[in-house]
Amino acid sequence: MSSRDADDTVKQRSGWLIPLAVFAVTAVLSALFLLFYLAPTPTSFIEEHQAPTSRTDPVMISIGGTPLEIPANYMLYASARQGGERKQVELFAKLPDFDGYSDWESRAFNSNGQSSPIVYLLIREEQFNLSEEDRLKRIYLTYVANPSGTPAQFGLTQFVFRDDSAYHHEDLFVGIWQGHSVVMRCERFSPEDSNPSCLRDMPLSKHVVVSYRFKRTHLGDWQDIAAGAAGLVHSFVAHAR
């Protein structure tokens, strides 16, 4: 090939390479523009809405090395029903018998009023697990105004958190059930919160904690709720063995 023919070939290739490069760059920029403005935000990928089911087939999961067999109708989210290893699982049950979700009780399970009979449970992995007595002594009592507490209704002892503590909008109630402390933090009734709840954390195994939450109007039933929550969760463990 002569030198002149080689120069002509280079010029011809240059003539179509430049428009192709411009087209490619434009296409990439357009794709990035559409991805930035039209793609879902990251939270839309990870946020999951509650999806209860009346199915009662058992789901095998493991949390913190503890195997659990949980009927599907206790699980709040559809993803949990895939089973397997998990960091936590969210559940709910209906008082007084801690029944799972059913279509004919859907109105009760969807209620959130002061008298709502629904108890929400969270079974989660926690490496530094404390007993309720240790949690009370090491954490909560350091933030109360009077470490001795005062007698309250329903066989409970009430502690008032100091105004400078992170729990200043809550009350602390402690009762004895089956020889062990039951420690509950309850949000206070106020104009801003006319529908408060109570929360209890209890260890299930060495690295697993169960938290359950119920409406403060049911505080008088705290012993029945403690018994029901413990019985329900331990039944999940027993069935998995």
pLDDT of residue 169: 93
> How many CA atoms are closer than 13 Å to the CA of 116, on its beta-carbon side?
22
Detail the DSSP E strand segments found in the chain: 58-63, 66-71, 84-86, 88-94, 118-125, 150-151, 157-160, 170-177, 180-187, 197-205, 208-215
Please list the rounded mean pLDDT of every run of 10 residues in the chain (241 residues): 53 54 53 40 59 96 96 96 96 97 95 94 91 94 95 97 94 95 94 90 94 97 98 91 78
Per-residue pLDDT at 31: 46
Which region holds residue 220: left if phi is over 0, alpha if psi is between -120 and 50, else beta? alpha
Burial-class residue 239 by CB neighbours within 10 Å (0-12, 13-18, 19+). Answer: middle
Strand order in the sheet with 150-151: 88-94, 118-125, 208-215, 197-205, 180-187, 170-177, 157-160, 150-151
pLDDT of residue 2: 57
Give the pLDDT score at 239. 84
